C-alpha cells in the first residue's frame, strides 16, 4: 500500500546470521513490524523494495542469512517499527550484526531550499545492533569502531603503530561489559540503546 505524500524514503541495509532452526515462518513473525508498516499482509508481499533495482528482503535458508537492502516510504514513526524488529531479531540471531538505516527527506529540494536559512533537510543515518546476547552486540560495536578509528588514523600513522589505540578501545568495551554484568547481577536494567538483547553472555573477543 503506497503512502501518499510520505515525507521520507527509508532504506534498511544489513545482513543477520540466524540460528539453524529459524524458518521463514519465524522470520515473518520477527519482521512483522516492517511489513505491517509497509501496509502488506505478509513478508512475501512486502519483500520487494520501493526501488526495483534493490534486492529487498531475502531469507537464505541454506546459509541461514537474512539479507536486507530494502526501501520503504514513511515518516519518523518508522523508528518504532525498527525498535520492535530489533527486539524480535535478537531472539533469532546466531551472532551479532549491524543494520544501517538511512532516512532520506523526499520533500527537501537542495537546489530550491539550500539558500533559505530556515530550510533544513530531515536526512538521518543510524546503525542498529542485534544479537543473541549483549556480548555479541558489543563485539560488533567494537569491531566497527576499530575499523573507523584505524581507517581515520592510518592517514597519519602506519597501521603497525596503532596497537595501543586498539588495546584502549578493547579496554573501554571490557569495562562497559563488566558494568553491564554488575548491573544485571544487582537486578537493575542495563543502560544502553535499542537493539541490546536480554540475558548474559561471554565477554567480547579482543581482536587485534
HSE-up (13 A, CA, CB side) for residue 104 = 10
Residue 51's CB is within 10 A of a number of other CB atoms, namely 12
What global pTM score does this model have? 0.76
The string of DSSP letters for 154-195 reads TTTS-GGGGHHHHHHHHHHHHHHHHHHHHHHHTTPPPP--TT
Q: pLDDT of 24-53, one tens digit each? A: 999 999 999 999 999 999 999 999 999 999
Measured at the alpha carbon of residue 205, what is the angle toward residues 135 and 92, in degrees to the nearest 5?
40
- The strand pairing partners of 123, in sequence order, are none
Is it the case that residue 23 has pLDDT exceeding 60?
A: yes
Task: Enter the CATH code of domain 8-130.
Answer: 3.30.70
Is it the case that residue 183 has pLDDT exceeding 60?
A: yes
pLDDT value at residue 201: 43
Dist. CA 113–CA 129, nearest whole Å: 34
Is it the case that residue 100 has pLDDT exceeding 90?
A: yes
Is it the case that residue 1 has pLDDT exceeding 50?
A: no
Query: Which helix or strand (DSSP H or E) is residue 71 part of?
Result: strand 65-74
Is it the case that residue 13 has pLDDT exceeding 90?
A: yes
pLDDT value at residue 179: 79
Residue 180's CB is within 10 A of a number of other CB atoms, namely 19
Dist. CA 138–CA 2, nearest whole Å: 37
Q: Of the ranges 96-105, 119-128, 173-182, which one carries the lowest mean pLDDT score?
A: 173-182
CA pseudo-torsion sign 156, 144, 37, 53: positive
Q: pLDDT of 137-175, one tens digit each? A: 999 998 998 888 989 888 898 888 888 988 998 888 888
Domain ranges of the chain: 8-130, 133-208
Is it the case that residue 114 has pLDDT exceeding 70?
A: no
pLDDT value at residue 173: 83
Amino acid at each position: 500500500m503506497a503512502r501518499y505524500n510520505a515525507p521520507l524514503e527509508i532504506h534498511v541495509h544489513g545482513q543477520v546470521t540466524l540460528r539453524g532452526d529459524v524458518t521463514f515462518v519465524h522470520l515473518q513473525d520477527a519482521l512483522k513490524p516492517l511489513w505491517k508498516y509497509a501496509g502488506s499482509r505478509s513478508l512475501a508481499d512486502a519483500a520487494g523494495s520501493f526501488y526495483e533495482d534493490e534486492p529487498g528482503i531475502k531469507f537464505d535458508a541454506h546459509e541461514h542469512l537474512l539479507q536486507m537492502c530494502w526501501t520503504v516510504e514513511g515518516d519518523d514513526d518508522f523508528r518504532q517499527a525498527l525498535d520492535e524488529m530489533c527486539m524480535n531479531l535478537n531472539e533469532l540471531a546466531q551472532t551479532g550484526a549491524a543494520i544501517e538505516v538511512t532516512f532520506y527527506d523526499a520533500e527537501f529540494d537542495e537546489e530550491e531550499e539550500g539558500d533559505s536559512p530556515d530550510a533544513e533537510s530531515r536526512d538521518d543515518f543510524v546503525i542498529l545492533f542485534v544479537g543473541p546476547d549483549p556480548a555479541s552486540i558489543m563485539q560488533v560495536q567494537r569491531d566497527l569502531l576499530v575499523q573507523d578509528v584505524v581507517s581515520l588514523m592510518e592517514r597519519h600513522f602506519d597501521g603497525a603503530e596503532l596497537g595501543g589505540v586498539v588495546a584502549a578501545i578493547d579496554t573501554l568495551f571490557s569495562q562497559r561489559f563488566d558494568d553491564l554484568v554488575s548491573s544485571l547481577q544487582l537486578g537493575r536494567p542495563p543502560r544502553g540503546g535499542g537493539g541490546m538483547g536480554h540475558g548474559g553472555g561471554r565477554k567480547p573477543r579482543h581482536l587485534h
